[in-house]
Amino acid sequence: MIKDEFKNRTLGYLQLFRLQTTATTALTPVIGALVLGQKDIFHLFILFIIGCFYHIYGFVLNEYIDIDVDKKSKDLQKKPLVSGIVPKKHALFIALSSAFFACIITIYFFRFILPILFLFLAIFFGGIYDFFGKKIPGLDFVLGLGFFFICLMGASTTTYDFGILTYIVCLIYFIHISFMNSVEGGLKDVDHDFLAGAKTIATVMGVYVKNMSLVITRKFLVFTIILKFIFIFLIVLLCAQPEIDLFNFEKNLIQLILIIMLCIVIFFTMYKFLSTSVFNRSKLKTIFSFHEISSYFVFIISLSPIVGFWQTFFLIFFPFVWFVLFNFILYRKLLQPQV
């Protein structure tokens, strides 16, 4: 009995951390450093640890702030804070401790002004979103700024000589996270966000659920398409940079074919969730998983000429294997987290 209780509580804390997606977030500062030529494994490992603490800070604080909204959804009753398996005060302590440890590690290993400043900005913008994301529409872009600066933080641990390539990579993170949160997050949570009176981009643009029917307005449809085309434009701009030169067909034909195939998956999955008329949270989350993975893969493959083959292989398969492994451990599902 005690053993089962300990196991359930441990799983509750790991679910609260969103452990299954930790690797993807934690690789953000790592990618920032790799783009500027950082190859030292220990250096990159420290950035990964900082990224892990940043991930835990952001998601746990978000769960802490959104607990009353989450209680409105029948699909979220098993979440650690909603179910009570993790005390609310523990969540706040974990979030603040994670931010503290991220800062301490950065100060200890990277004793320069910019990495510390960029980390503070990432923590600040992430916190602003967590506190006001359901109250002020459009703060998804503030969360995107958090990822912009955590990526720039990783880059700044290697050199302060940022070129346009570095800023394009950070902007891709900005748009990618903004899309995930405003569009995917807005749609999967619209049922209880609407009931709780939360002011997200989706609810403000008139998206709602009635009798299990999902109503997506033309405004939200246009917003989604524009945001995704900005992402694709930045990917094309990234590929065209002299350091990458991905449009050199003789050298990079395989990468280009893979990118085109993944873009087809991106737009197909986007069509699937934008054309759905029945609100099925589980089905939506599965479609979003394929959409996010495809978008991430396009981004990483675009960076392959500059980061190298084995680094690209690692950046693709490590977070994917991590996600599948921990998602199965935590939820007994491969691609559908209980969030």
Q: Which two tokens stand for residue 130?
A: 């967590």
Q: Which two tokens stand for residue 30?
A: 């790592």
Q: Is the pTM of this model over 0.75?
A: yes
CA distance 69 to 73: 8
| Residue from 93, 153, 98, 97 nearest 121 by CA | 153
pLDDT of res. 336 = 61
Q: Is the dihedral of CA 96, 98, 104, 110 positive or negative?
A: negative
* Diameter over CA atoms, the chain: 63
For 281-300, give the DSSP string. Answer: HHHHHHHHHHHHHHHHHHHH
Number of Cβ within a 10 Å radius of residue 215:
13
Q: Which two tokens stand for residue 23?
A: 């690797």
> What are the residue ranges spanned by the domains of the chain?
2-331
Phi, psi of 200 (to 5 degrees): -100, 170
pLDDT of res. 156 = 96
Residues in the chain, pLDDT under 50: none
pLDDT of res. 4 = 62
pLDDT of res. 291 = 94
Q: How far is CA 97 from CA 20, 46, 91, 100, in A?
A: 20, 17, 10, 5
Q: What is the DSSP letter of 139?
A: T
Above pLDDT 70, what percent of the chain? 96
CA distance 242 to 166: 13
pLDDT of res. 210 = 85
pLDDT of res. 167 = 97
Residue type, 118: F
Q: Which two tokens stand for residue 207?
A: 């998206």
Q: Beta partners for 250?
A: none
| Residue from 281, 175, 323, 153 nearest 237 by CA | 175
pLDDT digits (tens, 9 = 90+) for 141-185: 999 999 999 999 999 999 888 999 999 999 999 999 999 999 998
First to last CA, the chain: 27
Domain 2-331 has CATH 1.10.357.140: yes
CB 185 within 8 A of CB 134: no
Task: Write 37-46 long-range contacts (CB < 8 A, 24+).
Answer: 37/158, 37/159, 38/157, 38/158, 43/157, 43/158, 46/105, 46/109
- Cα angle 76, 80, 86 (rounded to 5 degrees) comes to 155
Residue 188 three-state SS = helix
pLDDT of res. 14 = 87
CA distance 31 to 48: 10
pLDDT digits (tens, 9 = 90+) for 175-216: 999 999 999 988 988 887 777 777 899 999 999 888 888 999
Q: Which two tokens stand for residue 4?
A: 């089962």
- Cα angle 297, 303, 305 (rounded to 5 degrees) comes to 125
CA distance 134 to 203: 10
pLDDT of res. 90 = 92
pLDDT of res. 306 = 94
